[in-house]
Structure 1
Amino acid sequence: MDLDAEFKLDDDLCYLNHAAVAPWPLRSMQAVERFARENAMRGAAHYPRWMEVENTLRENLARLINAPSPRDIALVKSTSEALSFVAYGLHWEPGDEIVISDQEFPSNRIVWESLADQGVTVRVVSLDGDDCEDDLIDAFNNNTRLLAISSVQYGTGLRMNLDKLGAACKAAKVLFCVDAIQSLGALPLDVEKSQIDFTMADGHKWLLGPEGLGVFYVRPALRESLKLHEFGWHMIANRGDYRQTTWQVAPDATRFECGSPNTMGAHAFQASTELLLEIGIDKVEALVLNRVELLERELNKIQGIEILSSRDRQRQSGILTFRVAHQDSQALYRDLMSRNVICASRGGGARFSPHCYTPDAVIHTAVERLAECIS
């Protein structure tokens, strides 16, 4: 596959910010252009075909996470919305505890802290130890109801051993919730193998899709256990019968979709997930990690660079965070951005995040521009 043909970024741009917002592949842009043209010229004349696109998107997402069925896939507005569905869908008792890490993005912390008025305690565990999974598991006690963890930490890209955590959760009868936004689309995720109960991710990072549309998975056996707080025409069984006066909640994951679908977003997202599946997620992972290794080698040639991300291959992801001795990281970030090195300031340093298609030349140029910043 010619990945260069799918990504048409400006020549002067070094785009290393997929952990924030990713550029779309060409096919996603074209899908939206076709949708917009059809909508402008024909309105909703072909609405059933739009729904076929959405169904294909569900199938693609189910394949990417190895869900039992596309019926287990809900299309949501954001990771935060899906996390809230879990937090406010479960029944809590005073004294219940939730275990999280000290490196979570605010979305995977605030939602659990908001349960304090229900008597729920959040136990925060440091990931700085030699075996952070053991440290998380050791925090379990008789009151622990749920472990909420990111598959990859947004600040430094630390990759978690989900298989180990999932097995421990099952043994301890603790629910396992995985925020997969920093891995899905770049690294394999298997909800069955890792025994994940809930997982969610926005489409606009490694999945190469649009903002405003993401995926939410609930283990089928647990679906009924989540109380619903959003209601509308779309989340009921037989939703095409508008005259029914009695209704039941949809038996599948569409119960979490209360209103009209994001049809334009679905066209872009379907095309993006199609590309990732064509490449193959194992190949995507290998390409991403190879680019991160190249970045690390090049950065290590610059005096004063300190790599903040793990150098353990099993811990690596698409994120590489670093800082420069005696230099303000925010100022460095602003300088890099002014030189068209698109990155982020996270985790105490500058964060680079290439994807599988990122050319080696972009990485070399970005490091050259970094060297100019600190010379």
Structure 2
Amino acid sequence: MLEGGTRYPDWLVVEQRLRERLARLINAADPDDIALVKNTSEGLSIVSQGLDWRDGDEVVGLHGDFCSNEMVWQALADRGVRYSAVDALATDDPEAALIAALGERTRLLALSTVHFATGYRFDVTRVVEACHMRGVLVSLDAIQSLGAVKFDLQSTPADFVVAGGHKWLLSPEGLGFLYCRPALRELLTLHQFGWAMRDRPYEFESSGWRPALSARRFESGTPNMTGIHALDASLSLFEDVGLAYVEKRVVENIAYLDERLRGIDGVEIATPAGSPHRAGILTFRHTRIPGQTLHASLMAKRVICSPRAGGIRLAPHFYTPEKILERTIEHIDQTIQNIIKNN
């Protein structure tokens, strides 16, 4: 605080380094393709409000996706855009169900890389390929996968990728990013304006301006420098540890929980079996205990979990040791027994 703005040039170095780290995280070609946004919802809104929609256009999405990834497209109804939600997770082949829903008026498919409640990991490469063959754009909400499992933009060339940094990326709330395919950048109409989105942002007394040619054109005002430093530090950790190791440990943790939970009477696993469709989330239900009841009891014992899909969502990160997972299973088993005994 005593130094005031004397360190601001150093902060700008960290900001640029963060863009470079984020580009490496998703294997984007250029840090200029990365915009820093407040959260996933803001990034999705920049895309949804920026595209040049025509009356009768359609957006295909997933029934039961996280609400933000439905709302931003549903809000286009007054512009004549129809949002079609496909109940793909109720089928044996969710990707095929989404692809089959693409029609002549479909302009964009919006999807989360990993379902927030069940933990289903979509084969987004298959979906993107099918969409692009039909001339359909793809917007991916990647907050439930980045930092847990690898994502490669070169093999999965989505048009837009958005994620906040506060989940698997281990950063505070309030900062995320938007990737926009370079060819589409200037086609998105801007709806937010401020000094930071100009091509020469620090020439405060200049009379004229134009938007930056880079993805910084989507950043209207003062950057979240605290969040920038935090996310930069988090990504430094991931680069030191290695994303391949992170994914290996995350998948191993989920496999361990799955095996142990199946040994508890009355437990049903909601997350699909098999590593291709698993990331870092495992959701289970109990046949006799409501999810909210079980959640409250587990949280009282400091078992960190979330009530999702009528059950309990567990999401241990790569650094969670097996002894903690074992204690978690013991707490879950004992809690279930106590609830049943007292009812």
TM-score by length of 2: 0.97
8 Å contact kept, 1:154–1:347? no
Does 2:24 correspond to 1:77?
Answer: no
CA positional deviation for 1:41? 2.5
CA RMSD of aligned residues (A): 0.8
**Matches for 1:284-323 after TM superposition, within 5 Å:** 284-323=246-285
Does 2:261 correspond to 1:334?
Answer: no
Q: For residue 96 of structure 1, what is the amino acid of its counterpart?
A: D
Does 2:235 correspond to 1:278?
Answer: no
Does 2:16 correspond to 1:55?
Answer: yes
Counterpart for residue 230 of structure 2? 268
- Number of matched pairs: 336
**Matches for 1:1-12 after TM superposition, within 5 Å:** none
Counterpart for residue 104 of structure 1? 65
8 Å contact kept, 1:306–1:322? yes
Which residue, 204, 220, 223 being the options, matches 2:182?
Answer: 220
8 Å contact kept, 1:186–1:284? yes
8 Å contact kept, 1:289–1:316? yes
Does 2:311 correspond to 1:349?
Answer: yes
Does 2:325 correspond to 1:363?
Answer: yes
In structure 2, C-alpha distance between the alignment counterparts of 1:349 and 1:357, rounded to whole Å: 24
Secondary structure class of the residue paired with 1:365: helix
Counterpart for residue 340 of structure 2? none
In structure 1, C-alpha distance between the alignment counterparts of 2:326 and 2:216, rounded to whole Å: 45
Counterpart for residue 90 of structure 1? 51
CA positional deviation for 1:317? 1.0
Q: For residue 223 of structure 1, what is the amino acid of its counterpart?
A: R
Counterpart for residue 341 of structure 2? none
Secondary structure class of the residue paired with 1:42: coil
**Matches for 1:96-135 after TM superposition, within 5 Å:** 96-126=57-87, 127-135=89-97
Secondary structure class of the residue paired with 1:173: coil
In structure 2, C-alpha distance between the alignment counterparts of 1:212 and 1:272, rounded to whole Å: 14
Counterpart for residue 230 of structure 1? 192
Secondary structure class of the residue paired with 1:99: strand
In structure 1, C-alpha distance between the alignment counterparts of 2:107 and 2:284, rounded to whole Å: 36
Q: Structure 1, unaligned stretches of length 5 or more? A: 1-39
Does 2:201 correspond to 1:239?
Answer: yes
CA positional deviation for 1:192? 2.2
CA positional deviation for 1:103? 2.6
Secondary structure class of the residue paired with 1:296: helix
Counterpart for residue 219 of structure 2? 257
Counterpart for residue 159 of structure 2? 197
User: What whole-Å deviation, never above 9, does each CA across 1:222-256 have from its counterpart, x for those lacking one?
Assistant: 10111000001000111121222111110001101
CA positional deviation for 1:302? 0.8
Does 2:112 correspond to 1:150?
Answer: yes
Greater RCO (CA < 8 Å, at least 6 residues apart): 1
In structure 1, C-alpha distance between the alignment counterparts of 2:127 and 2:263, rounded to whole Å: 36
In structure 1, C-alpha distance between the alignment counterparts of 2:292 and 2:69, rounded to whole Å: 24
CA positional deviation for 1:318? 0.4
CA positional deviation for 1:76? 0.4
In structure 1, C-alpha distance between the alignment counterparts of 2:193 and 2:27, rounded to whole Å: 28
In structure 2, C-alpha distance between the alignment counterparts of 1:130 and 1:303, rounded to whole Å: 26
8 Å contact kept, 1:170–1:195? no
Deviation beyond 6 Å, 4+ runs, structure 1 = none
Counterpart for residue 147 of structure 2? 185
Secondary structure class of the residue paired with 1:298: helix
Secondary structure class of the residue paired with 2:50: coil
Q: For residue 354 of structure 1, what is the amino acid of its counterpart?
A: P
8 Å contact kept, 1:59–1:70? yes
In structure 2, C-alpha distance between the alignment counterparts of 1:113 and 1:194, rounded to whole Å: 26
CA positional deviation for 1:175? 0.4
8 Å contact kept, 2:290–2:310? no
In structure 2, C-alpha distance between the alignment counterparts of 1:192 and 1:98, rounded to whole Å: 24
Q: For residue 168 of structure 2, what is the amino acid of its counterpart?
A: W
Counterpart for residue 129 of structure 2? 167
Q: Structure 2, unaligned stretches of length 5 or more? A: 338-343
Q: For residue 188 of structure 1, what is the amino acid of its counterpart?
A: K
Which residue, 99, 106, 114 being the options, matches 1:137?
Answer: 99
TM-score by length of 1: 0.88
Q: Matched residues, percent identical?
A: 46
